[in-house]
Amino acid sequence: MAQRLQASHLLAVVSLCLLASSLGGGKPLVTPITKDASTSLYTSPLEDTHPLVLDLSGPLIWTSTCDNPHQTIQLSERECTQANQYTRPDCWTYTGTGSYDDAGGATKCAAHPYNPVAGGSCASGDLTRVTLSANATDGKNPLYPVTFPAVASCARESLLANLPGGAAGVAGLARSELSLPAQVAATQSVARKLALCLPSGGNGVAVFGGGPLYLLPPWLIEITSSMGSTPLRRYQDQPGYYIWINGININQIPVPLLGHNSNYNVNGGEIVTELRRDVYRPFVEAFDNASTSGFGMQRVSPVAPFEMCYNRSKLWSTRVGYAVPQIDLILEGGARYVVFGANSVVQVDDATVCLAFVEMKRPEELGYAHGQQAPAMVMGGYQMENNLLVFDEEKEQLGYSTLLLFRQTTCSNFNFTMAA
């Protein structure tokens, strides 16, 4: 079945972080990540047994499990300001920090949860306090369970539409004060750092608070000590993780990118990578040229939502996926982030594989004001699978392992057995 094109934003933020980073000394927390088969979204069992969907671009945690009545947060509290620091361009009508309490006074704090799936839906809900749980870790095993308080927005059950069955809400992982990584950092006295290893099957792993991170067979290897890195950038006051890329090579040949930007920014968070119009066209044409002229691949009819699809029986399988033209993102400073077959093409049926990149909606459809540009690329979860990514808010760096299949391991090889 085709990878469905839905958004799974994942990410984290800061809150009380000065306190957290100066104290230090806590243990990082680990949680498994499951890929939902029908939606291709990634979830973690963070709220008792309820999974929350991971959203790299989301600034908030939200849940549909608020009791009635529930604790509310006052308009004057710092968390109320933090919860309303970011407004999505497509949610500009959902603003305002106050909502009416039952006695008719506008005293309690309203937040604006967002469902990133299926085009996105915006809502309003009370800001409240919830209890989340995960395990402390030494990077090799879970050590002991930890429960911790977190500020989250309540949401109506209707906001769960199109999320995986059983999911209670969304854990925003972006660069905001109330994202999950920021709140773990504040409560556990660990670094504001998220190690994210999305699985293609089985249980992937997320570690809040930083490395080390060991993955199993054939050897117990520590991944975070040998990784590339690139600076995290800010873009248009949005809370997502952005990096600059200077260009794209396909099969070592630069793609002739148009447009007036010499830098292209990349955000994280869709199911498959979306490319802005001016980047998408030359990109797919260069890939198709390299595929058919250099790799002897045979084009077949497109399978929606993908455009460039190929006859699978003409393709070789390798340890790092199908043998297709290599895609290099040229990062700031010249380092390359390399995308191999396992992350660039997706098998949609027995006979067909497709280039797993799609064209982004137009800026107007995304809610951007006239003249504002969308990022050139929104990196999708599929392109991150079996790559360890470390979002380090303290160093403002993105660390990347490249495809773990080269090291003969995968994101599903964390040892989730409790340490003896």
Ligand X SMILES: *[C@@H]1O[C@H](CO)[C@@H](O)[C@H](O)[C@H]1NC(C)=O
Residues near ligand X, by CB under 6 A: 133-135, 141-142, 145, 216, 251, 253, 286, 289-290, 293-294, 298, 300, 311, 313-314, 415-420
**DSSP classification of residue 49:** T
Please identify, using beta-carbon distances, which residue of 141 and 229 lies nearer to ligand X. Answer: 141
Q: Are strands 193-197 and 203-208 parallel, antiparallel or unpaired?
A: antiparallel
Least Cβ distance, residue 230 to ligand X (angstroms): 26
Please identify, using beta-carbon distances, which residue of 200 and 415 lies nearer to ligand X. Answer: 415
Please identify, using beta-carbon distances, which residue of 262 and 313 lies nearer to ligand X. Answer: 313
Please identify, using beta-carbon distances, which residue of 145 and 259 lies nearer to ligand X. Answer: 145
Question: Count of alpha carbons within 13 Å of 232, Cβ hemisphere only?
Answer: 21
Phi, psi of 233 (to 5 degrees): -115, 160
Please identify, using beta-carbon distances, which residue of 297 and 403 lies nearer to ligand X. Answer: 297
User: Residue 83: CB partners within 8 Å, gap ≥ 6?
Assistant: 60, 97, 109, 111, 112, 127, 151, 153, 178
Distances (CA, A) of 199 to 46, 233, 302, 405: 17, 26, 26, 12
Q: Minimal CA–CA distance to 191: which of 207, 209, 212?
A: 209
Least Cβ distance, residue 181 to ligand X (angstroms): 16
Least Cβ distance, residue 102 to ligand X (angstroms): 34
Please identify, using beta-carbon distances, which residue of 49 and 68 lies nearer to ligand X. Answer: 49
d(CA 12, CA 91): 20
Instruction: Specify whether the CB–CB gap between 387 and 401 falls below 8 A.
Output: yes
Least Cβ distance, residue 8 to ligand X (angstroms): 20
Least Cβ distance, residue 253 to ligand X (angstroms): 6
DSSP 3-state assignment of 343? helix
Least Cβ distance, residue 412 to ligand X (angstroms): 13
Please identify, using beta-carbon distances, which residue of 215 and 266 lies nearer to ligand X. Answer: 215
d(CA 154, CA 357): 34
Least Cβ distance, residue 299 to ligand X (angstroms): 9
CB neighbourhood size of 222 (10 A): 14
Please identify, using beta-carbon distances, which residue of 80 and 205 lies nearer to ligand X. Answer: 205
b vs e for 175-198, b when ≥16 Cβ sit within 10 Å of the residue's Cβ? bbbbbbbbbbbbbbbbbbbbbbbb
Least Cβ distance, residue 104 to ligand X (angstroms): 40
CB burial of residue 46 (10 Å; 0-12, 13-18, 19+): buried
Please identify, using beta-carbon distances, which residue of 117 and 195 lies nearer to ligand X. Answer: 195
Least Cβ distance, residue 395 to ligand X (angstroms): 27
Please identify, using beta-carbon distances, which residue of 300 and 335 lies nearer to ligand X. Answer: 300
Q: Minimal CA–CA distance to 212: which of 407, 10, 399, 417?
A: 399
Q: What is the biggest distance separating any 2 CA atoms in the chain, rounded to whole angstroms?
A: 71
Least Cβ distance, residue 184 to ligand X (angstroms): 13
Q: Minimal CA–CA distance to 33: which of 249, 271, 219, 195?
A: 195
